[in-house]
Structure 1
């Protein structure tokens, strides 16, 4: 783990709030998640930054030193980001559209929509595990659009000039080895899943792991997660029978792994599209949303487990931009 600008912002927020509870609320984080992040920052920097007690969080002498440097550095960084964002938007051309995406099924649909409505544009894309990093790039003018995602109580922070449009909130499903005993069930209880070793994404940047852990803890079961992986590596750990995990409802099922709904739908994931208010996609926003929503519905239909879930849970995964009749268009 390397020190990042957002870590300095976290420390300043804690100092200003005077407690981890108030700071967590200001940062749209859970208090346990913020405590974990603070411990990692303290370990990285080499000392305790705050004395934590009933009266709140007070900077230590070492913390005062770090905060003094942070307060000296952050205004310059903010000015740099603001100036470069303005310059990038001035230089931006409707002939170039850079798209970023987290691991989600929407990137292809978004790129096709951009090509349809801006046929002369040069369209490029890149992926990143962290929606916050992509949002930073969008704000700074390094991207024109992005596919993002978040979880309940972990909404992406608003940014000046950036339009954040939620597309759909879908359930999170269990990802199992095909030979696993739970794979034969129509739905898997979260407490049953927590009895097995998990593979989880790394805890920094993307807050997925924090969300999974907090929901499991609230249910009274905190799973053991000896494996830290993302994407293809996570799937391979599950396929090998070394772990169970969670996945998006639209996960493309592959040989050796099985997707099952979670009983009671305790976890959710929200797909969000974002672009600049004054960028080249803004005039086509509604059309792009409808095109991406239609593509998402096609992806749902091609995911048998999710298609069956949607059939039995009408109205629970609404797509307001799916078409003139909303969800009824699927």
Structure 2
């Protein structure tokens, strides 16, 4: 893992708060998610940054060095971002839409609508599994909007101060191979998968913790959790070596089926983010409307989810 600005912000937040728990609350993250982030940062730097006990987190000598550099770098980068934003604003209205997205059902339909309604606009996209990385791209002036997901009612996995607007909220479904014994069911109780091996794509939010908590409420601990990129996860599920979770709007794929979980214990929100004072802020309402239309297209393509919404009219959906 390469050290990024968001990692320096995490180190500063923990040092300022005096504990990981308080820092997690200030950043809007789950404490286990922030702890895992800190451990990854420490592995990347080759040593411990904080000594932690019941009294809090105290900075180590290595932590002091990192903090000293971070206190210089972060304000300098923020100043650069502010100057770039002012320069971009002074250049007049932009005829471009630079959009970053974490894996989801909206991006394709959103791009189609922008290009159809604004044929002269320059449109570009950037994909990443990290919502925090994409948010940093907006702050640095390299992106105008981001489409990310967030678990349940949690905020996006970033402390960057972007404006966020919910596009839609959906239950999380199971993703099973077509030959799985539960694949033909209308819904499956999570407890029926107590002995299963699980696979997930990487992410920087609290979804893995929420998944583990839902399994605990169902009376078990997930047996194995493989983490791999999306294509690898699909291959493991299709071969029958693991089961997974997916957005209810996932486009149907040969050899795989999506199955609702009884009681809908997990939810996922699609969110649009932008810089409130940035040059693209005036286009946010327009892009949000296009995103909702793209989401509704994704729902119509998925017969199983459409049927579930008819049976569960309060199961959420677009943020209209």
Given the two structures, how large is their TM-score scaled by the length of structure 2? 0.88
* 2:138 counterpart SS class: helix
What is the CA–CA distance in structure 1 between the aligned matches of 2:282 and 2:66, rounded to whole Å?
A: 45
Deviation at 1:280, TM superposition (A): 6.9
Query: What is the aligned partner in structure 2 of residue 300 from structure 1?
Result: 299
1:12-65 alpha-carbon deviations (Å, 9 max, x no partner): 111111111111111111111222222222222222222211111112233223
What's 2:240 paired with?
A: 241
- Contact 2:199 / 2:233 at 8 angstroms: preserved in 1? yes
Superposition RMSD on alpha carbons, in Å? 2.5
Structure with more relative contact order (C-alpha pairs < 8 Å, separation 6 or more)? 2
Contact conserved, 1:197 with 1:225, CA < 8 A, in 2? yes
* Structure 1 SS opposite 2:222: coil
Distance 1:107 1:74 in 2: 31
Alignment of 1:1-330 (within 5 A): 1-91=1-91, 94-156=94-156, 162-202=162-202, 205=204, 207-217=206-216, 219-277=218-276, 282-283=281-282, 285-321=284-320
Report the CA distance between 1:286 and its aligned residue. 4.2
1:88 CA displacement: 3.9
Aligned residue-pair number: 319
Q: 1:48 to 1:233 in 2, by over 3 A?
A: same
Gaps of 5+ in 2: none
Unaligned runs of 5+ in 1: 322-330
Counterparts in 2 of 1:41 and 1:135: CA distance versus 1, 3 Å: closer
CA distance in 1, matches of 2:213, 2:314: 26
Measure how far apart 1:262 and its partner are.
1.1
After TM superposition, give the deviation of residue 303 of structure 1 in Å. 0.6
Rounded to whole Å, the distance in 2 between the matches of 1:94 and 1:141 is: 13
The change in CA–CA distance for 1:60 and 1:275 in structure 2 (over 3 A counts) is closer
Cα distance change, pair 280–16 in 1 and its aligned pair in 2 (3 A): closer
State the distance in 2 between where 1:83 and 1:249 align.
41
Q: Taking structure 1 as reference, are residues 53 and 148 closer, same or farther at Cα in structure 2, changes over 3 Å only?
A: same
